[in-house]
Amino acid sequence: MADLAEIADFTEQLAQKAGELIRHEREQNILRTDYKQQTELVTHADVMADEMITAAIRERFPEHRILSEETMPDLQQAEQLDTPLWIIDPIDGTVNYAYGHPQVAVSIAYAEKGRVQVGVVHAPFSRETFRAVRGEGSTLNGEAIRHSGATVPRQSLFATGFPYHKDGLEPLVNRLNAMIHQCRDLRRIGSAALDICWVACGRLDIYYENVSPWDFAAARLIALEAGATAGHFSEVPDGMPADLWGRDILISAPAVWEPVREILRKASGYY
């Protein structure tokens, strides 16, 4: 196994360097955009940051594999567990970024044999860096963080998101309707990585969504190491590492995880 402390330091430095690039591009009002699959916004800064991160990893760890949203989004990488894998989202919250909203993050995770060992999420506009190494707890700008300790859904603040593709929204609307009626309120932040990190530090109590590995891999470890519970409200396919499976993901303060899972399963028609 690699030296995780060394990898964590490298990952944090890399995320912060990418954050500087992203912030500079936005502050200079340099915003060139395009679309993936005709619906999903991507900016030139996404691609620049992605290329910078992947080049640095390749130079230092040439034998490692990379799963990256913009330049290497082949999800089969997550199924090949023999070689260490880096999971990267250069800008999580691209629509926020394009509109000048500050809830934007660089997310980098390092996994061995399907288990994430290091996670860093850096928010360049708020200058907040969330970091975790498996078994060593989570920090925000070097200070230890902990989940909120929420005990009942009714008094819990939750976050979720919605896909770019608007077909088949009925199950999502059913879940939202159930959660709105049984929880305190909803916050729609626009960055899955930050949603999960905010659960980790107690700014939110619950997060659920369908997301890709690059959206949540780093933040999920950060939440777990902050004492939160992470899992799924549907079944994980055989052979797929739970750390990298993003369908029906649920992360929350421990005491509310099971009751919220039941709310979501019922609203989804899973039983």
Please, what are the domains in the chain? 4-144 (3.30.540.10), 153-268 (3.40.190.80)
Torsion of Cα atoms, 17 then 115 then 6 then 105, to 10°: 20
H/E stretch holding 159: strand 157-159
For residue 158, pLDDT beyond 50: yes
For residue 46, pLDDT beyond 90: no
φ, ψ for residue 168, nearest 5 deg: 65, 40
pLDDT bin (cut points 50, 70, 90) of residue 98 is confident
What whole-number percentage of the chain has pLDDT above 70?
90
The confidence score (pLDDT) of residue 165 equals 79
Q: Cα-atom radius of gyration of the chain, to the nearest Å?
A: 17
The confidence score (pLDDT) of residue 125 equals 96
What is the Cα–Cα distance from 231 to 216, expressed in whole angstroms?
A: 12
Query: Which neighbouring-strand residues pair with 187?
Result: 159
The confidence score (pLDDT) of residue 102 equals 95
The confidence score (pLDDT) of residue 47 equals 86
The confidence score (pLDDT) of residue 39 equals 46
For residue 93, pLDDT beyond 90: yes
Q: Say if residue 27 carries a ligand binding annotation.
A: no
Average pLDDT of the chain, as a whole number: 91
Q: How many CB atoms lie within 10 A of CB 100?
A: 11
Q: How many CB atoms lie within 10 A of CB 140?
A: 18
For residue 186, pLDDT beyond 70: yes
The confidence score (pLDDT) of residue 1 equals 56
Query: Are 70 and 33 spatial neighbours (Cβ–Cβ below 8 Å)?
Result: no
The confidence score (pLDDT) of residue 132 equals 98
The stretch 239-258 carries a mean pLDDT of 95
Query: Which neighbouring-strand residues pair with 116?
Result: 111
Rounded to 5°, angle at Cα 265 from 260 and 268: 125
Q: Say if residue 89 carries a ligand binding annotation.
A: yes
φ, ψ for residue 35, nearest 5 deg: -130, 140
The confidence score (pLDDT) of residue 234 equals 97
Q: Report pLDDT digits (tens) over 216-247.
A: 999 999 999 999 999 999 999 998 889 999 99
Eight-class DSSP state of 235: P
The confidence score (pLDDT) of residue 45 equals 86
For residue 61, pLDDT beyond 50: yes
The confidence score (pLDDT) of residue 72 equals 63
For residue 36, pLDDT beyond 60: no
Q: Say if residue 215 carries a ligand binding annotation.
A: yes
Q: How many CB atoms lie within 10 A of CB 92?
A: 29
For residue 41, pLDDT beyond 90: no
For residue 52, pLDDT beyond 90: yes
For residue 69, pLDDT beyond 50: yes
